[in-house]
Amino acid sequence: ILGVTVAYNKDPSPVKLNLGVGAYRTEEGKPLVLNVVRKAEQQLINDRTRIKEYLPIVGLVEFNKLSAKLILGADSPAIRENRITTVECLSGTGSLRVGGEFLAKHYHQKTIYITQPTWGNHPKIFTLAGLTVKTYRYYDPATRGLNFQGLLEDLGAAAPGSIVLLHACAHNPTGVDPTIQQWEQIRKLMRSKGLMPFFDSAYQGFASGSLDTDAKPIRMFVADGGECLVAQSYAKNMGLYGERVGALSIVCKSADVAGRVESQLKLVIRPMYSSPPIHGASIVAVILRDKNLFNEWTLELKAMADRIISMRKQLFEALRTRGTPGDWSHIIKQIGMFTFTGLNPAQVSFMTKEYHIYMTSDGRISMAGLSSKTVPHLADAIHAVVTKAV
pLDDT in tens, 155-181: 999 999 999 999 999 999 999 999 999
Do residues 273 and 90 touch, judged by C-beta distance below 8 A?
yes
- Average pLDDT, rounded, for the chain: 96
Q: Show Cβ contacts of residue 214 under 8 Å, excluding neighbours closer than 6 positions.
A: 168, 169, 170, 201, 203, 204, 205, 206, 207, 208
pLDDT of residue 312: 96
Residue 2 has pLDDT above 90, yes or no: no
Contacts of 88 (CB under 8 A, 6+ apart): 55, 58, 59, 60, 63, 64, 67, 245, 246, 247, 276, 281
Q: How confident is the model at residue 287 (pLDDT cuts 50, 70, 90)?
A: very high
* Mean pLDDT within 179-188: 98
* pLDDT computed for residue 220 by the predictor: 98
Tell me the mean pLDDT in the region 90-116: 98
Q: What is the pLDDT of residue 4?
A: 85
Share of the chain above pLDDT 70, in %: 99
Which pLDDT band holds residue 61 (cuts at 50, 70, 90)? very high
pTM of the full structure: 0.95
Q: What pLDDT does residue 29 have?
A: 87
Run of H or E including 245: strand 245-251
Which range, of 31-45, 279-293, 361-375, averages the lowest pLDDT?
361-375
- The CA distance from 72 to 79, in Å, is 8
> Which residues are annotated as catalytic?
119, 200, 236
Q: What is the pLDDT of residue 1?
A: 67
